[in-house]
């Protein structure tokens, strides 16, 4: 959902054009105080703000910034920008947000994978060393093999095959 903050007279028409172009619902807030209330109640993917209104009320602008959460801010001068330009700015911002989210997700996955890699490898080696102990009771061997199989499955899910010893 997109929040459009502007006292601009044709804000509803602009909101409809944005909704049609992006496929996202658009809500309009004609005043910054109203926008702050809406930001407290709802999450938005983007918040489109009229630069002139922000310059006129810097304290309210600060409140909006505090409540953006994960929404990407888009600053537009409605006095000189038509709906087409506003839509281009929103699309560019949403595209940047999507790319940033993909990058962050990939980095988080890589970090988790690297963090777990050593633990899974150590678990597999410990299981294998324990399975090599002479005179190991059958029940203990069964439990160790089950633990080894689970660690191997986890390793497979993490795509750690290069760091895992050969299957016993």
pLDDT tens string 1-44: 999 998 888 888 999 999 999 999 999 999 888 999 999 999 99
Rg of the chain over Cα atoms, rounded to whole angstroms, equals 27
Q: In what order do the strands lie in the sheet with 2-5?
A: 26-29, 2-5, 46-50, 72-76
Q: Which residue has the tokens 């029940």?
A: 139
Contact 78, 6 (CB under 8 A): yes
pLDDT, tens digit, 9 for 90 and up, residues 37-64: 999 999 999 999 988 877 888 788 888 8
Question: If DSSP codes are grouped into helix, strand and coil, which group holds residue 93?
Answer: helix
Domain ranges of the chain: 2-81, 106-163
Cα separation of 68 and 57, whole Å?
Answer: 17
- Alpha-helix runs per DSSP H in 23-137: 32-41, 51-56, 58-66, 83-131
The pair of three-digit structure tokens given for residue 84, joined into one six-digit string: 């087409």
pLDDT, tens digit, 9 for 90 and up, residues 86-117: 999 999 999 999 999 999 999 998 888 888 88
The domain 2-81 is placed in CATH, from the list 3.30.40, 3.30.70, 3.40.50, 2.60.40, at: 3.40.50
Cα separation of 32 and 92, whole Å?
Answer: 24
């Amino acid at each position: 959902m997109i929040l459009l903050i502007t006292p601009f007279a044709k804000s509803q028409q602009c909101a409809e054009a944005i909704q049609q172009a992006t496929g996202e619902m658009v809500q309009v807030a004609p005043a910054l105080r109203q926008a702050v209330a809406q930001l407290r109640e709802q999450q938005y993917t983007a918040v489109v703000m009229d630069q002139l209104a922000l310059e006129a009320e810097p304290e309210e602008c600060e409140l909006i910034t505090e409540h953006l959460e994960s929404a990407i801010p888009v600053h537009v001068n409605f006095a000189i920008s038509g709906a087409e330009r506003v839509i281009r700015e929103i699309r560019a911002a949403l595209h940047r947000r999507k790319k940033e989210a993909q990058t962050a997700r990939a980095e988080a996955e890589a970090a988790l994978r690297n963090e777990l890699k050593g633990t899974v490898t150590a678990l597999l080696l410990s299981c294998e060393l324990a399975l090599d102990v002479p005179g190991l009771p059958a029940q203990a061997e069964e439990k160790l093999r089950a633990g080894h199989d689970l660690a191997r499955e986890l390793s497979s899910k993490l795509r750690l095959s290069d760091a895992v010893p050969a299957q016993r």
